[in-house]
Chain A
Amino acid sequence: MHVHRYERMWLVAALALIVLFIGTVTYGAVGAGYGMVDATGGEVDPTNPTASDNFREPGVYNGSEQNHYDVYIEAVQFAFVPGTSEPVRLPANSTVTFHVTSGDVIHGFEVVGTNINTMAVPGQVATVTVEFDDPGEYGLVCNEYCGSGHHSMEGSLDVVPPAQFNESEVN
């Protein structure tokens, strides 16, 4: 089979580019330590997530180490609990694991302007661990269509200076 010389060069260059792309993603996972949302969050009963060992009453909890926090968020039509009626408050200089599930249909959980972005699937718990270095105010938005009030499903996340964070806010 005859392949034109230019086309062979193009083929080799395209393969090199593909391997490079795969390499950058691999580096992101292994080198930079970017953890994907995966199956480690476990399963829950979609009609009663808190009854399972894999989920707790929604809210902020102390984590396993100093300055680590666990945030349990339940997405429901059309609110984040917590997040919508009151902001999620966290201190800066912290490591936070979000545990997100849904109590009804599939939702999205996006912290606007960041790479915290996961699906909230009934029966599954998504876990995302991030570091908040600086104080800031972020929006929360549901980015998967979840019903007629989908466009009103939003919330906020306030990362405050550690001095303004009261440990009594933690469950």
Chain B
Amino acid sequence: MAHPHTSEQPQAYEADETQLKDRLAFIDRYPNAARITRLSFSVSFTALAIGALLGIIQALHRTNVLRGIVSSVDYYSVLTGHGVLLALFFTIFFLTGIFTWGTSKSLGRELQSPRFSLAWFLLMLSGAVMTSTAIFGGLVGQIPFSADVLYTFYAPLQAHPLFYAGLAAWLVGTWLAGADWFRTYYHWRQDNPDERIPLQMFMIMTTMLMWYIATLGVAVEVLVFLLPLSLGLIESVDPLLTRTLFWFFGHPVVYFWLMPAYFAWYTVLPKLSGGRLFSDPLARVVFILFLLLSTPVGFHHQYADPGVPEGFKFIAMTNTMFLLLPSFLTAFTVVASMEYGARQRGGTGYLGWLKSLPWGNPAFAGCALAGMMFAAGGFSGIINAGMNINSLIHNTLWVPGHFHLTVGTASALTMMAISYWLYPQITGKRLQFYGVAQIQPYIWFIGMGLMSNAMHRAGLAGVPRRTAEPQYQQFDFAPVLGSMSEMRLQIAIGGSLLTLGALMFVFVMAGTWMAERGRGRLRVDSHLPEPISGASDSPRVLDNVKLWFAIAVVLVAIAYGFPIYSMVADGVFSPAAPPFPV
């Protein structure tokens, strides 16, 4: 039995789909899962639209191209909103949507309880609304809310309690979402005791296990320290401890952004290319490596921190470098699967096959361009990971240049691209404004190319990140490559194109949402072809997620046990820093 997908007869499913010409959309088979996916996507895309509008304000303000929309003080409210809405709400509501789809799709069954699913969605949404209210309250003088603490909310800067309470509610919502998917899996397992875990479900499970480990850090930070501090229940915190707890979460969260993209690259992109996935077993190995290595690397964000012994920075550096391995393997598989697809479509030659790929299909083009930019982002990430050269670029504009290639393109553009393919299936509506969708990935690619290269170079010149002003009074920046004015111009133009790209995407989605059902064929179908090398080729131990989870916990204990112990040994709240409300 080589078929990993579903407990039903897969052959019949495929036959149905072709005969009925796409009328058997996901929404018709699993209406509840489709509804939760739709709801998650609607919050995700709303956050994207708002976050993108905040982005263009920043891009124009700090490059001096257009001042006056906000003051340099309010810039930080805008920056906090941009970070939280895009990095947490756009990406992770997308994740809950696509993982809900993936759970039902790969197990071939509905989620267990529509009410439970709706409950976690509403909890996440209410948390997101609370946090956003606190952030945007900072822009309105009469409202006593403020949360200009940026996405990292380092203590002892202190936001309004609503900011932390919202984050906590949202986080608990993500935990319940994971529980929902695991519960569905256990029911499936009872009916299918001998089957291999379907690949998509396997990816969802390993990603969520990583999330459960990682979010422990931020949950303790918020619930034990920052929320009580903002409510006045405690008087001080240890800034190094809370910062360390943040980064315990803060690196694995980047894989939480990336895993939906990897999920799509492994399971959907090969089909969009016209081929099949190269290897199911290696996809499992990759996700296991992410589960093992995502968390014990957080100190690479603290290379420049005092109070952390060098040896633990070294361990984090080594783990980080090994974390390159799953991404290198992914690069191989993705490109090999695309090449296979292109050759199936008649492509020939060493590189000539590239011309045979469906570049006019926005779902394909977005994923492929995102993968290409991820390669560039990976290499700039290696510089960040190298703990001594990191000193040249730590906290400079290089860093946002880097993560706009990774989360801002590898994740974000893939999420948008996959939506072009998936949204019709969860709504039963044909994608509208197809021409806009077709050029949108290219707009994003060009915009990011301009903005990101300039940010990297500005960072090399020492230009700091997270600041409202382009220049200083006491010194001038001396760029090695290019001039400051040219970089600012590229950032302004690139940032504007990116906002345009995001709005084009939201326009297509909103148009599709409002379109009538049943007008025209869906133009997409949900059938995912079998991998060339299937799950039955791989050892069963790969599916032993309990084992991998246990090893992951041990690795985290090695990386974090002693440093956290030494920070709390002198007193949990010591050195005691009183709060500074923003």
Q: A and B bound?
A: yes
Chain A residues near B (Cβ < 8 Å): 1-4, 6-7, 10-11, 14-15, 17-18, 21-22, 24-25, 28-29, 32, 34-39, 41, 43-47, 77, 100-101, 104-106, 108, 110, 112-119, 121-127, 137-152, 154-156
- Please tell me if the beta carbons of B570 and A43 are within 8 angstroms of each other in the complex: yes
Q: Which of A38, A117, A127 contacts B309 (CB 8 A)?
A: A38
- The interface residues of chain A lying within 8 Å CB-to-CB of B578 are 46-47
* CB within 8 Å: A-B pair count: 232
Q: B64 at interface (Cβ–Cβ under 8 A)? A: no
Q: B170 at interface (Cβ–Cβ under 8 A)? A: no
A and B contact pairs by CB, cutoff 8 A, 5 listed: A6-B332, A21-B324, A25-B386, A110-B394, A123-B238
- The interface residues of chain A lying within 8 Å CB-to-CB of B329 are 7, 10-11, 14
A14-B328 in contact given A46-B575, A110-B464, A137-B475 (Cβ < 8 Å) = yes
- The interface residues of chain B lying within 8 Å CB-to-CB of A146 are 157
Q: Which of B150, B468, B576 contacts A151 (CB 8 A)?
A: B468
- The interface residues of chain A lying within 8 Å CB-to-CB of B302 are 119
Query: Which of B238, B302, B462, B580 counts the most chain A CB atoms within 10 A?
Result: B462
- Please tell me if the beta carbons of B580 and A104 are within 8 angstroms of each other in the complex: yes
A15 to B75, CA, bound (A): 43
- The interface residues of chain B lying within 8 Å CB-to-CB of A118 are 304-306
Contact bitstring B138-174, A, C-beta under 8 A = 1, else 0: 0000000000101000101100000000000000000
A38-B239 in contact given A126-B306, A151-B72 (Cβ < 8 Å) = no
- Please tell me if the beta carbons of A143 and B474 are within 8 angstroms of each other in the complex: no
* CB of B158, distance to nearest CB on chain A (Å): 9
Q: Which of A4, A114, A124, A138 contacts B575 (CB 8 A)?
A: A124
Residue of B nearest to A21 (CB): B321
Chain B residues near A (Cβ < 8 Å): 72-73, 75-76, 79, 148, 150, 154, 156-157, 238-240, 243, 278-279, 281-282, 302-310, 313-314, 317-318, 321-322, 324-325, 328-329, 332-333, 336, 382, 385-389, 391-392, 394-396, 461-462, 464-469, 472-478, 533, 537-539, 566, 570, 574-578, 580, 582
- Please tell me if the beta carbons of A24 and B306 are within 8 angstroms of each other in the complex: no
Q: Which of B279, B303, B324, B468 contacts A4 (CB 8 A)?
A: B279
Main secondary structure of the interface of B (DSSP, over half): loop
Residue of A nearest to B396 (CB): A143
- The interface residues of chain A lying within 8 Å CB-to-CB of B533 are 2, 4
- Please tell me if the beta carbons of A15 and B325 are within 8 angstroms of each other in the complex: yes
* CB of B265, distance to nearest CB on chain A (Å): 16
- The interface residues of chain A lying within 8 Å CB-to-CB of B461 are 112-113
A123-B310 in contact given A45-B575, A143-B396, A145-B76 (Cβ < 8 Å) = no
- Please tell me if the beta carbons of B580 and A147 are within 8 angstroms of each other in the complex: yes
- Please tell me if the beta carbons of B475 and A112 are within 8 angstroms of each other in the complex: yes
- The interface residues of chain A lying within 8 Å CB-to-CB of B389 are 28, 115
- Please tell me if the beta carbons of A43 and B307 are within 8 angstroms of each other in the complex: yes
Q: Which of A2, A143, A154 contacts B475 (CB 8 A)?
A: A154
* CB of A147, distance to nearest CB on chain B (Å): 7
- Please tell me if the beta carbons of A121 and B472 are within 8 angstroms of each other in the complex: no
- Please tell me if the beta carbons of A7 and B282 are within 8 angstroms of each other in the complex: yes
- Please tell me if the beta carbons of A121 and B307 are within 8 angstroms of each other in the complex: yes
